[in-house]
Structure 1
Amino acid sequence: MFEPSALSVAQRANVPPFQVMEVLSAANARQRVRGDVVSLAAGQPSSPAPSAVREAAAEALRRHPLGYTEQLGLPQLREAIAGHCARTYGLAADPAEVVATTGASGAFLLAFLSAFDPGDRVALARPGYPAYRNILAALGCEVVELPCDESTRFQPTTAMLEALDEPVRGLIVASPANPTGTVLTGDELAELASWCDRRGVQLISDEIYHGIEYGERLHSAREFSTEAIVVNSFSKLWCMTGWRLGWMLVPPRLRRAVDSLTGNFTLCPPAVSQHGAVAAFGAEVYAEVGEHVRRYETNRELLLTGLAELGIKRVAPADGAFYAYADIGELTDDSSAWCHRLLEETGVAVVPGVDFDPERGGRFVRMSYAGATEDIAEAVARLATWLR
């Protein structure tokens, strides 16, 4: 007789939960009951997709059967992305290098599977986006965390890589980074790319927050290495998180592998999202999302000023994205409990740093300022009352 107890859960599935989602669930539960939540938790814009994108998607629903597309994406979309890369970075991007993916998450899975084997050592910054660590672990790779802090603006350096006891097979960088919002300068990114090329290390550059910057223009890893894998997405700048559409720039040696993996894993990205995204690169869309970025900049100044007035002055340099990664070590060493108490007592939702840094995250929180300006002001006011 079949015994269900004989079945087991795969060891590779034993990865930590994403605590950001747990905070969001708690915030949503409170909102349903009390309706008073101000959320600085979600790492997504509060605005809808650009109007031209929504209109293009609606037209596609009317005119197209929306069956499977080519595995690597609609040709017209890949051409549009290549054009965007040429205009933004001066890259002579071949549309054949462009792969449309099911969100940036799908791109990371394809990148890791095509470039790394089980047991390969892959380096990344800590703090950093937890899905890098957890996907790599699920695939059997060894994660090598590079402890980063204020001294390197929370970004990895070649000195850290040189100091490792054993060589690595890959390096993941993010600029602007989640959760810190810090940026690699062109010189810093060039140095990391050169280091990887000289040693045969696969560089994977997360560029999903490109376009959301508040200082010097951002650089793509492809400006410095044709062997780098670049991951980008329509989620952040274009406010299309739920559309689940991203893209990669893939070096020729990996293209066949990525093509085969895509065909077996997802067949293709969502068709309606692809048709909509073809319209994402017009002048009117750039102007529309540019307005959002200006709002984020206003919110950034409001939040950072408010935190400083409350004595929370150790915040990572928020040069891009829409996050403030704040050191609250003088208030608590258990940021998870602190965030839950803040939500319960004030209705303000922020997320604990332990998601992003299992070692030191107990003294950090991440606050998103992607929402409405009045929400940022209200959150700061409630936090001030609570702390005082």
Structure 2
Amino acid sequence: MKAFSFFPRTKMPWNCFCCVSQDQEEPAETSRVHKNRDYPWDIYSLKELLHATNSFHHDNKIGEGGFGSVYWGRTSKGVEIAVKRLKTMSAKAEMEFAVEVEILGRVRHRNLLGLRGFYAGGEERLIVYDYMPNHSLITHLHGQLAADCLLDWPRRMSIAIGSAEGLSYLHHEVNPHIIHRDIKASNVLLDTEFEAKVADFGFAKLIPDGVTHLTTRVKGTLGYLAPEYAMWGKVSESCDVYSFGILLLEIISGKKPIEKLPGGVKRDIVQWATPYVQKGLFNQIADSRLKGKFDREQVKSTVLIAMKCTDNSPDNRPTMIEVVDWLKGGIGRRKKEITNHVDETEDEEEVYDETDTDHENYGMELSDARENITRARSQRR
């Protein structure tokens, strides 16, 4: 894949994207203005997206975060979509919009959330995605659907492998390489078959060939940040590997990355899991909602992979290519390397920019919203 331009760096004006401003709006029946010759996305009109989301009605809202809200919608052609509507325009919001449209418009992988198109005009910045009917991973682990336990062990492994493959693609196949910087359960969406789609690229960084790391302002979510990134702002592919290790433990155990203990003390998921690993009690780490229905050898090997990913030293962490290989069954070839993980986990200073992102509650309220949406649609007809 060829290298691509980075919007904020090139300072291209928005009319370069052939956007349709509000006072240049075309009729709703010609909703998609056209497909850009240089990019695979569609450029939507504001009228089409207003119609699709019932004017961004509250009943259509399926997620909300620091930069804006996500709405469910249906286009005039009957296609279900998710529309991220950025909040009041600011330099941060403009940056996130530019980065996400640029990256999602260029990358193509079955485990990355697909970009359908966007609208940019006036004060509106709207990003249109494929709609994910099974919501986000966080909804199933900690949200409304957690009690239903729709994620059995095979599905959890499939989600872990899919997420890892999406990250491996970003780190090793795209040029320049991409660091996501916000890997977490709420940014893993699930399609009709529960296939994982890594989402939300607003904090992503491009790493040119030959560059090992960048120093930047810390972005991300408490509990998932690698120590060297949280404390010194040093970001590399290894930071995503650390975040993925936390996510992997979360998938296995169903526990949150950080929990509050009596007295206000916080304990992260690595600190919680370490004593079980030291004693060889890997089955105790598995989510109790699985009721013992899991492959015990897979649980053990997957926990060891997660512990290796969350090593305090970035030099000791594997690459995402290795992680994918191990998760898919290549673990036997490198078992000794994985089990050499240092078991002691030091307490880390909580230096972070605690930032919510727009898929944080993706699908949390969708079951209730569905009835309201259907009722509203019927009334409009």
Q: Identify the structure with the greater helix proportion.
A: 1
Fold match by TM threshold 0.5: no
Using the size of structure 2 for normalisation, the TM-score is 0.24
Greater RCO, CA 8 A, separation 6+: 1
